[in-house]
Amino acid sequence: MPSQAQDDEAPYRCAREEHSESVEVSMYPTRNDLAESARIKLVELLNARLADAIDLQTQCKQAHWNVKGPDFIALHKLFDEVNDAVEEYVDLIAERAVQLGGVADGTARVAAKRSSLPEYPVRGGDGREHVAALSTVLSAFGKLVRAEIDRSNELSDADTADIFTEVSRGVDKWLWFVEAHLQAER
């Protein structure tokens, strides 16, 4: 028979609706003082942005691997630097979901199913096409993350809002770095 401590550690599931699709949120008991109802909503929004961040990371690598043209080395390195930064955002977002008693839903299959980001359109290798595509997806991700700052604050979670602020600030910096390659020719 399991001890009381083991029972307290067992996850429980809450069914929630997300984009007309039922999503189950697994939660573990925690001594975190945020209301359970708020933590459930926060874990949902964190997992939504986690899916987007993982998708963004794979799109950065798609650009990194396939870029061609006269700016190859600069863009190849830049896209890899963006990927490295996004990998840190993935970790921040996932760990916050777990800190709140949730489960980070961070598999590639989950990310592919749940991502809100536009599909990466480039199959070719022209540097300008990759710059435009990556700029578009960085902008879309930044917009989604900024919305979560307000939602986190509405749920009385300044810490999650702070994480999303950090991610937003970083994404805006990388958007500037990538987009600058399109702005040079006027």
The per-residue pLDDT for 26 is 80
* Domains in the chain: ranges and CATH: 34-183 (1.20.1260.10)
Taking 50 as the pLDDT cut, the residues of the chain under it are 1-20
The per-residue pLDDT for 123 is 79
Q: Rounded to an integer, what distance in angstroms lies between the CA atom of residue 36 and that of residue 168?
A: 26
pTM: predicted TM-score of the whole model, two decimal places: 0.86
* DSSP symbol at 54: H
Could you tell me the two tokens for 133? 């595509």
- By the 8 A CB rule, do 78 and 177 touch? yes
Q: Rounded to an integer, what distance in angstroms lies between the CA atom of residue 68 and that of residue 58?
A: 18
Mean pLDDT of the chain, nearest integer: 89
The per-residue pLDDT for 159 is 98
The per-residue pLDDT for 136 is 97
Q: Rounded to an integer, what distance in angstroms lies between the CA atom of residue 181 and that of residue 166?
A: 24
The per-residue pLDDT for 29 is 87
Give the tens place of pLDDT for each residue, 11-55.
444 444 344 355 677 888 889 999 999 999 999 999 999 999 999
